[in-house]
Amino acid sequence: MRYQSAMHRLRRVLWTIVALIFLGLSWLWDHLHPIITFLIGLIPLEGLKEAVRRFVERLPPYPTLIVFLIPAVVHELMKVAAFFLFHKHQWVAGVLMYVAADVIGIALVAFLFETCKEKLLSIPWFAWCYAWFEKAHLWAHAQIAPIKAYIHQALIEAGLVGRRAGILAKLVALWRYERRRRGTAGVT
């Protein structure tokens, strides 16, 4: 029985970590997407972007999917180049190439997804995957909701909600809240 309880707790911790990673990536995408979209808007290649939009509009769904996958190939090739630079001990160039690969990959995916979204979602398995990721996003939020509520309650009790406080003050508040909670749980 103790073994099952320990396995249940371990499984819960692992799923919480998966949810946090998923939400972290989602948060990163949500915050970088507008910035990348703004940066794409700054590129004075409106003619090229419009030509890509017109080209994609003429394509059926599956060729549109191939166009949508091009950034993944470019992204991976740039990362291979970055690792080659790391191998040659060109650390700064490698880091710059790696960061450029991520920024360019996100920028191209953001632009192409906005351009191709309707056609991509007309592909049944792609629409299913998209819906699955939407459900996974909701699931991840549900997984960490108790953790967020716990942290929020600790910060309320410490008087740190609604005002700026450093991470250290918040961590100390969480630690004290947990100590008080365990102290009162042991008394009953």
pLDDT in tens, 79-129: 999 999 999 999 999 999 988 888 778 778 878 888 889 999 999 999 999
pTM of this structure: 0.63
Give CA–CA dist 23/100, Å, rounded: 23
Taking CA atoms, 183 is separated from 30, 150, 155, 160, 186, in Å, by 40, 16, 18, 22, 5
Domain ranges of the chain: 2-143
Nearest one of 23, 111, 22 to 74, comparing CA atoms: 111
pLDDT digits 0-9 by tens, 137-152 = 888 888 888 888 888 8
Nearest one of 9, 39, 10 to 111, comparing CA atoms: 39
Count the helices and strands in the chain (H runs, E runs): 6, 0
**Contact yes or no for 161/179 (Cβ under 8 A):** no
Residue with tokens 């190939």: 73
